[in-house]
Amino acid sequence: MRITIRLFARLRDIAGAGELVREAPGGATVGAVWAGLVAEYPDLSPYEKSISCAVNADYSRFNATVADGDEVAFLPPVSGG
Amino acid sequence: MSAGTLITSAPLDPMAVVRAVDPAGIGAVVTFLGLVRDHNLGRRVLHLEYEAYEALARRGLDLIVTEATAQWPAVRLAIHHRTGRMEIGEASVAIAAASPHRAHAFAAARYAIERIKQIVPIWKHEYFEGGDVWIEGATADPGNSEAREQALKIACA
């Protein structure tokens, strides 16, 4: 299945793109999508402990299952205000 | 979605966020403006660029309004956050909290800015004399009850 990955701020700089389309096996979790991303861009790995995630623009968890066509976003620590 | 929340690249109008809480007859309005500071961690700041995951940022702001209204039922809260490039002294965030009495208006406005810094997916890119850096604060997790308690404690101090 096909997943759209959204990256922001420093994560976007590391990957060189804010939006990536990747294949994932059926039943894959958000965590598995992240692991695939880290394999591709090892410089992302220090963010493992500090990122949060969203699926289809709603806050999610790393153990959530993703579906074909989902938008999965990885969020570095926020600094709004 | 709450009508009082907005993510925009346009300059913020402090009166617009006041109008959004429909203050006529209510008694008290507290406003908060967050401005671009000319220094940070000993660096001379030149300008900032704010980036948002807009759809989720709007949801985060709506969640803060829901939380505040549950805590202070008589409060009306509006939050406008700007994105894009901002110069020193420009407002990046404008908050208005209206309430029949001042204490809850102050508390809700303070709660809102603390929660924005905890959970809303917006990031500052700081351009300073000699370089630039993404500022990274809190891990955005609206389910972290400890963070929420902390924001409440600060608001009610």
Q: What is the DSSP string of chain B?
A: --TTEEEESSPP-HHHHHHHT--TTTSEEEEEEEE--SEETTEEEEEEEEEE-HHHHHHHHHHHHHHHHHHSTT-EEEEEEE-EEEETT-EEEEEEEEESSHHHHHHHHHHHHHHHHHH--EEEEEEETTEEEE---B---TT-HHHHHHHHHHHT-
**Quick check: is A12 in a domain?**
yes
- The number of domains in chain A is 1
Report residue B70 as tokens: 């549950």
Q: In B, which residues are within 8 Å of A6 by CB distance?
A: 53
Q: Which of A58, A75, A81 sits opposite B140 (nearest CB)?
A: A75
Q: In A, which residues are within 8 Å of B143 by CB distance?
A: 59
Chain B residue with minimal CA distance to A11? B134
Give me the residues of A, 42-61, that contact B with CB < 8 A: 50-52, 54, 57-59
| CB B74, CB B104: distance < 8 Å | yes
What domains sit in chain B, N to C, each tagged with a CATH number?
5-155 (3.90.1170.40)
Encode pLDDT of A13-69 as tens digits: 999 999 999 999 999 999 999 999 999 999 999 999 999 999 999 999 999 999 999
Q: Which domain holds residue A47?
A: 2-75
Encode pLDDT of B32-53 as tens digits: 999 999 999 999 999 999 999 9
CATH number for the domain that contains residue A65: 3.10.20.30
Is 80 exceeded by the pLDDT of residue B16?
yes
**Quick check: is A69 in a domain?**
yes
Q: Which of B59, B122, B142 sits opposite A80 (nearest CB)?
A: B122
For B66-82, b where at least 16 C-beta lie within 10 A, e where not — what string? ebbeebbeebbbbbbbb
ipTM of this model?
0.96
Encode pLDDT of B91-120 as tens digits: 999 999 999 999 999 999 999 999 999 999
pLDDT of the residue at B50:
98
pTM of this structure: 0.96
What percent of chain B stands above pLDDT 90? 96
Q: Which of A6, A73, A78 sits opposite B120 (nearest CB)?
A: A78
**Quick check: is A35 in a domain?**
yes
Is 70 exceeded by the pLDDT of residue B1?
no
**Quick check: is A81 in a domain?**
no
Q: In A, which residues are within 8 Å of B136 by CB distance?
A: 9-10, 50, 76-79
**Quick check: is A80 in a domain?**
no
